[in-house]
């Protein structure tokens, strides 16, 4: 039921959405949620879900209300996600709302998880609380806020964000004797923030061999994402920065079923986690099972193509840097193999044991929406291909 909300209702929901941001990078696999309690036009409590396992936004707002010496009875609660009705790490929010005697609850988005899906709002209505759902801009913003949570709840798969940086002439790598950077320092800082907000970040073995990346989030106090390498033949070198820094965050190597057993056991004894997967979707499914809800794809072009072909990119974030790089020598093999070889290695399916050739997705995927922003001297284009 989409009741008409007033401009005041919408403004309070926008404040709740702003509060929800306070949990970004800290609550996964849970959603970002904010709540505001208002009586007679006055805000008497605010809260958000701040830590995984901590108070839900609704209880945090009720607690804030009481600590201000206010009584939530008869007040309106604005919340960005439907209140939960289940016992999880926290007790059900609907109980707290009913006990407090809140008179009206305005909800910006549904919770598509099986345990929720309308149960909370139903219990509130049965308890005599007026319940209204937002529509329009606030509802859209609330859904966009929790795309990883929503996709994971609906499909069991993580939400995949593809990051790319390219020159004006469409090059994504620099010459061997040139600086490796294409995007500027401001863009690179933003990427560090995105890493810290992701549950896992991934590269293909081609990039791992060529760049020897560390893939940690260099931000004070950040949660470190799981580092993932698509490496069908288990060739990640033991002296790679990834394997040398296992104390900072785990490394998961995703191999094809036909990876040489010796390579696999060497990686295992070096401390890497191994996941055997025949294709990208199976790999994502297993990551979803491990509660990875957001998956940040960092490079390179080969892995990006494999994900696009498998129709597994939900959102792209592309930096365009104001420079020309020219064509890289096309015949030069990258460290560790030819471009064609790297393709099959990163897509996992090798086709050597009767496996089907690389999956081909839709020829063209047009963004549902796209936005452009200036970051330092670069242009960042964010595009969404799926909405959950
Ligand atoms: C949150 N924060 O503010 C709200 C949530 O295991 P728990 O107890 O933390 O419950 C997590 C679930 O509760 C979550 O998946 C979502 O369905 C619901 N609502 N969760 O983490 C909140 N309101
Ligand atoms: Zn809750």
Whether ligand 1 lies within 6 angstroms of the CB of 33 is answered as yes
- Quick one: which atom of ligand 1 is closest to the CA of 91? 8
Ligand 1 in reach of 56 Cβ (< 6 A): yes
Q: What is the pLDDT of residue 361?
A: 58
The pLDDT value given to residue 142: 98
Distance 84 CA to ligand 1 centre (A): 7
pLDDT, position 340: 42
Give yes or no for residue 291 CB within 6 A of ligand 1: no
* Residue 57 CB less than 6 A away from ligand 1: yes
pLDDT tens per residue, range 244-281: 999 999 999 999 999 999 999 999 999 999 999 999 99
The residue-averaged pLDDT of 354-365 equals: 58
The CA distance from 208 to 195, in Å, is 17
User: What distance in angstroms lies between residue 87's CA and the mean position of ligand 2's atoms?
Assistant: 9
Report residue 342's pLDDT band, with 50, 70 and 90 as the boundaries: very low
Question: What is the C-alpha separation between 216 and 223, in angstroms, rounded?
Answer: 9
pLDDT of residue 335: 47
Rounded average pLDDT over 32-57: 97
Q: Which atom of ligand 1 is nearest to the CA of 83?
A: 23
Q: Are 347 and 357 in contact (CB under 8 A)?
A: no
Taking CA atoms only, the protein residue closest to ligand 1 atom 11 is 30
- For residue 222, pLDDT over 50 is answered with yes
**351: pLDDT strictly greater than 60:** no
* Rounded average pLDDT over 308-336: 81
Residues 6+ apart with CB under 8 A from 19: 34, 35, 36, 46, 47, 48, 57
Residue 347 pLDDT grade (very low, low, confident, very high; cuts 50, 70, 90): confident
3-state secondary structure of 204: strand
CA of residue 7 to ligand 2 center, whole Å: 26
Q: What is the pLDDT of residue 64?
A: 98
What's the mean pLDDT in 333-361? 52
- Integer Cα distance of 225 and 292 in angstroms: 9
Tell me the average pLDDT across 220-231. Answer: 93
Do residues 178 and 369 touch, judged by C-beta distance below 8 A? no
Q: Identify the residue whose C-alpha is closest to ligand 1 atom 10.
A: 88
Q: What confidence score (pLDDT) does residue 344 get?
A: 60
Is the predicted pLDDT of residue 15 greater than 80, yes or no?
Answer: yes
Mean residue pLDDT across the chain: 91
119 lines ligand 1 (CB under 6 A): no
| Confidence band, pLDDT 50/70/90 cuts, at residue 349 | low
pLDDT band at 115 (very low <50, low <70, confident <90, very high): confident
Is 82 an annotated catalytic residue? no
Average pLDDT over residues 312-317: 98
Contact 108, 142 (CB under 8 A): yes
Centre of ligand 1 from the C-alpha of residue 321, in Å: 40
378/161 Cα distance (integer angstroms) = 19
Could you read off the pLDDT of 96-114 as tens digits, one per residue? 999 999 999 999 999 999 8
Helix (H, G, I), strand (E, B) or coil at 196: helix
With a cut of 70, say whether residue 39 has pLDDT above it: yes
pLDDT of residue 2: 56
Task: Tell me what percent of the residues of the chain surpass a pLDDT of 70.
Answer: 91
Question: Average pLDDT, stretch 109-135?
Answer: 94
Q: Which atom of ligand 1 is nearest to the CA of 56?
A: 3
Residue ranges of alpha helices (H) inside the chain are: 7-20, 57-67, 93-100, 119-126, 136-145, 147-155, 185-197, 205-211, 241-244, 261-269, 280-289, 301-309, 339-347
Measured in Å, residue 89 CA sits from the centre of ligand 2 at: 9
Give the CB-side neighbour count of residue 179, counting CA atoms within 13 A.
6
Active-site residue, selected from the candidate residues 46, 58, 82, 197: 58
At CA 386, angle to CA 381 and CA 388, rounded to 5? 120
* Binding site membership of 44 for ligand 1 (Cβ less than 6 Å): no
Atom index in ligand 1 nearest the CA of residue 35 equals 3
CA 52 vs CA 23, 89, 196, 223, 227: distances in Å: 9, 9, 15, 12, 20
Whole-structure pTM value = 0.90
Cβ of 145 less than 6 Å from ligand 1 = no
């Amino acid at each position: 039921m989409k009741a008409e909300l007033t401009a005041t209702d919408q403004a309070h929901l926008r404040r709740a959405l702003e509060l929800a941001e306070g949990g970004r990078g800290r609550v996964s696999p849970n959603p970002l949620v904010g709540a505001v309690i208002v009586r007679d036009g006055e805000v008497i409590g605010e809260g958000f879900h701040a830590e995984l396992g901590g108070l839900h936004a609704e209880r945090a707002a009720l607690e804030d209300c009481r600590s201000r010496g206010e009584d939530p009875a008869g007040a309106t609660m604005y919340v960005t996600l439907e209140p939960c009705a289940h016992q999880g790490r926290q007790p059900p929010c609907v109980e707290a709302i009913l006990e407090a005697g809140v008179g009206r609850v305005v909800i910006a988005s549904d919770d598509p998880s099986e345990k929720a899906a309308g149960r909370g709002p139903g219990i509130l209505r049965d308890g005599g609380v007026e319940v209204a759902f937002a529509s329009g801009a606030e509802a859209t913003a609330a859904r966009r806020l929790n795309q990883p949570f929503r996709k994971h709840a609906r499909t069991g798969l993580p939400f995949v964000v593809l990051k790319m940086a390219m020159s004006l002439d469409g090059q994504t790598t620099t010459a061997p004797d040139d600086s490796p950077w294409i995007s500027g320092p401001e863009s690179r800082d933003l990427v560090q923030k995105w890493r810290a907000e992701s549950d896992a970040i991934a590269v293909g073995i081609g990039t791992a061999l060529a760049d020897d990346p560390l893939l940690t989030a260099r931000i004070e106090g950040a949660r470190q994402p799981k580092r993932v390498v698509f490496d069908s033949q288990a060739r990640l070198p033991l002296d790679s920065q990834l394997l040398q820094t296992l104390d900072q965050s785990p490394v998961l190597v995703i191999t094809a079923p036909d990876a040489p057993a010796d390579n696999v056991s060497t990686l295992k004894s070096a401390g890497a986690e191994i996941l055997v997967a025949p294709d990208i979707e199976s790999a994502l499914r297993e990551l979803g099972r491990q509660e990875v809800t957001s998956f940040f794809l960092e490079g390179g072009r080969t892995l990006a193509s494999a994900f696009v072909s498998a129709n597994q990119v939900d959102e792209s974030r592309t930096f365009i840097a104001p420079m020309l790089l020219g064509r890289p020598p096309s015949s030069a093999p990258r460290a560790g193999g030819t471009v064609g070889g790297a393709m099959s290695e990163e897509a996992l399916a090798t086709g050597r044991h009767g496996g089907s050739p690389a999956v081909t997705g839709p020829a063209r995927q047009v963004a549902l929406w796209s936005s452009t922003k200036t970051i330092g001297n670069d242009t960042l284009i964010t595009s969404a291909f799926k909405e959950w």
